[in-house]
Amino acid sequence: MFPLFHFSLWLKGFPIKKAQVAFDHIQSIAEEEYPQYIAQKRNEIVAFHLKHNASYKALVGNANPEAWESLPVMTKKDFQIPLQERLSTGFTTKNVYVNKTSGSSGDPFIFAKDKFSHALTWVNIIDRFGWFGIDFNQSLQARFYGIPLDFIGNRKERLKDFLSHRYRFPIFDLSDKVLEDVLRQFGRKRFNYINGYTSSIVLFAKFLQRKKIVLTSVCPTLKCCVVTSEMLFENDKILLETQFGVPVVNEYGASELDLIAFQNPQDEWQVNSETLYVEILDEHNNVLPNGEEGRVVITSLYNKAHPFIRYDIGDIGILDEQSTAKKPLLKKLIGRTNDVALLPSGKKSPGLTFYYVTKSIIEDDGNVKEFVIKQTKIDTFDIEYVSEKALTLAQIQAIEKAITTYLESGLTFNFLRRETLERSKSGKLKQFVSLLN
């Protein structure tokens, strides 16, 4: 089969062959030499941007570039200036890859990557999917993603789908009638893998569960399912593996950076150490030892067009104690730093705590398809849900009791049954939202 996917990357000006050679060399570096490789690439990218990037040089100021931990921690707020003012010398919007973040962290922005750096990203992604027998030039993807509704944007995405060998399912309407058609497509097409937003794929799995169908009995060519962009809870992973009959892989990435972590066949969440350097920092920007919870801060080791050096991505996570320089492992991804509930007592709690506690009760009987929690006041939360029938008083009381046990008493909950839940323009479903300033 003609390697259409690789050809499409080459056609866009991404030096995919050069990137593959570089990536293979990085992976060949011995474990004992890897700390030296990381230190060298960190120093090189800092030196490059201090010499060629005026905005980064201004940000660093008088900090000692040779003392890594003295370098400033960057956030998206540092990038709220025109892109051209953030590009390094020699780069323009015409000779780089330009894209924008979804804005899920509250600070969307346009970013750039030089074409070699972006080619490395694709080589990395291809490598990881290859762990599960997926070849982007041949394997057919069942894609559960949003799509632009305007004509030009829609046609562009459809062309990308064709070049990338994927079939896209709409996710803005996932009623049983629509899911029946999704199931029929799995019976007609030789899909090799599923890829998309966690919440949409979980809805499809629940549909299969109600129909008592294992997907591989309908589509035996299926090899794996890769979920991304939203939290994957352990019981949802079990549901997906049960109803799909294939391994479920948890992907963690950021469009402005790279693939950050990808679950390997040993069920370890392996961090990308080839092109990124990942740190976990406390609130004072001190590096935390492996095993401790903190802010995920990432350095892009190869992006010369735009600096991402000690960049706070806005997530909270933990690196595993068994991590090494060459094979760091993500023990846990807890959520975003802005997804925090402020309680009347002054306590701060990750919003996903509410979601997780509620989830353990609300889905026991399979009635509730999906739900979100919104904090509307310091002591008030709306729980919006889609279900076959309304929650019972006993279920509501059980939820309130569990949250009191885990968090604190005196909170008010409004249970609101909806036909559908509001999603972002891209189709993502945010499980917890705080509407407080």
Question: What's the rounded Cα separation, in Å, for the pair 274 and 327?
Answer: 9
Selected residue with higher pLDDT from 3 and 50? 50
Contact call for residues 260 and 278 (beta carbons, < 8 A): yes
Phi, psi angle pair for 150, to nearest 5°: -75, 155
Q: In 330-360, which positions are buried (b, 16+ CB within 10 angstroms) versus exposed (e)?
A: bbebbbbbebbbebeeeeeebbbbbbbbbbe
Residue 68 pLDDT exceeds 90:
yes
Element (H, E) at 279: strand 276-281
The first and second tokens of residue 163, run together, are: 């070049």
Contacts of 238 (CB under 8 A, 6+ apart): none
Q: How many angstroms separate the first and last alpha carbons of the chain?
A: 54
Last residue of a domain, one of 288, 311, 336: 336
Residue 36 pLDDT exceeds 50:
yes
301 and 352 share a domain? Answer: no
> Would you state the pLDDT for residue 50?
95
272 and 385 share a domain? Answer: no
Question: What's the rounded Cα separation, in Å, for the pair 130 and 265?
Answer: 11
Question: What's the rounded Cα separation, in Å, for the pair 230 and 250?
Answer: 10
> Would you state the pLDDT for residue 105?
47
Element (H, E) at 98: strand 96-100
> Would you state the pLDDT for residue 26?
98
248-306: per-residue pLDDT in tens?
A: 999 999 889 999 999 999 999 999 999 999 999 999 999 999 999 999 999 999 999 99
Question: What's the rounded Cα separation, in Å, for the pair 13 and 432?
Answer: 40
User: In this structure, how many other beta carbons lie within 10 angstroms of the beta carbon of residue 99?
Assistant: 12
Question: What's the rounded Cα separation, in Å, for the pair 402 and 283?
Answer: 30
187-211: per-residue pLDDT in tens?
A: 999 999 999 988 889 989 999 999 9
188 and 111 share a domain? Answer: yes
The first and second tokens of residue 387, run together, are: 């279900």
Question: What's the rounded Cα separation, in Å, for the pair 258 and 26?
Answer: 16
Residue 107 pLDDT exceeds 60:
no
Q: How confident is the model over 39-64, as a mean pLDDT?
A: 94
415 pLDDT band (50/70/90 cuts)? Answer: very high
293 and 355 share a domain? Answer: no
C-alpha dihedral sign at 183, 186, 189, 195: positive
Residue 121, helix vs strand vs coil? helix
Residue 103 pLDDT exceeds 60:
no
Strand partners, 312: 297
284 and 391 share a domain? Answer: no
Element (H, E) at 370: strand 368-377
The strands making up 224-228's β-sheet, listed across from edge to edge, are 166-169, 141-144, 193-197, 224-228, 248-254, 258-263, 269-271
What Cα–Cα distance (Å) separates residue 342 from each residue in 280, 350, 411?
23, 9, 11
197 and 298 share a domain? Answer: yes
Selected residue with higher pLDDT from 80 and 201? 201
Lowest mean per-residue pLDDT among 46-50, 178-182, 331-335: 331-335
Residue 5 pLDDT exceeds 90:
no
Instruction: Tell how strand 269-271 and strand 258-263 pair up.
Output: antiparallel
Most confident of 4-13, 65-74, 339-348, 420-429: 65-74
Residue 437 pLDDT exceeds 80:
no
Question: What's the rounded Cα separation, in Å, for the pair 368 and 178?
Answer: 18
CATH, residue 372: 3.30.300.30
Q: How confident is the model over 236-245, as a mean pLDDT?
A: 96
> Would you state the pLDDT for residue 124?
96
92 and 182 share a domain? Answer: yes
Q: Which domain holds residue 321?
A: 4-336
The first and second tokens of residue 399, run together, are: 């939820």
Number of domains comprising the chain: 2
Phi-psi category of residue 413: left, alpha or beta, with phi > 0 → left and psi -120 to 50 → alpha = beta
156 pLDDT band (50/70/90 cuts)? Answer: confident
CATH, residue 38: 3.40.50.12780
> Would you state the pLDDT for residue 106?
47
Place of tokens 């004509």: 151
304-343: per-residue pLDDT in tens?
A: 999 999 999 988 899 999 999 999 999 998 876 667 788 8
Residue 430 pLDDT exceeds 70:
yes
363 pLDDT band (50/70/90 cuts)? Answer: low
380 and 357 share a domain? Answer: yes
When the pLDDT of each residue in the chain is averaged and rounded to a whole number, the result is 88
The first and second tokens of residue 435, run together, are: 């509407």
What Cα–Cα distance (Å) separates residue 375 from each residue in 205, 257, 357, 379, 431?
28, 30, 15, 8, 11
> Would you state the pLDDT for residue 210?
93
274 and 352 share a domain? Answer: no
262 and 345 share a domain? Answer: no
113-137: per-residue pLDDT in tens?
A: 999 999 999 999 999 999 999 998 8
> Would you state the pLDDT for residue 16?
92
% of the chain with per-residue pLDDT over 70: 92
Strand partners, 329: 270
326 and 352 share a domain? Answer: no
The first and second tokens of residue 130, run together, are: 């290859």
Last residue of a domain, one of 336, 369, 396: 336
Strand partners, 296: 280
19 and 84 share a domain? Answer: yes
Last residue of a domain, one of 336, 361, 387: 336
Q: How confident is the model over 378-389, as a mean pLDDT?
A: 91
Phi-psi category of residue 236: left, alpha or beta, with phi > 0 → left and psi -120 to 50 → alpha = alpha
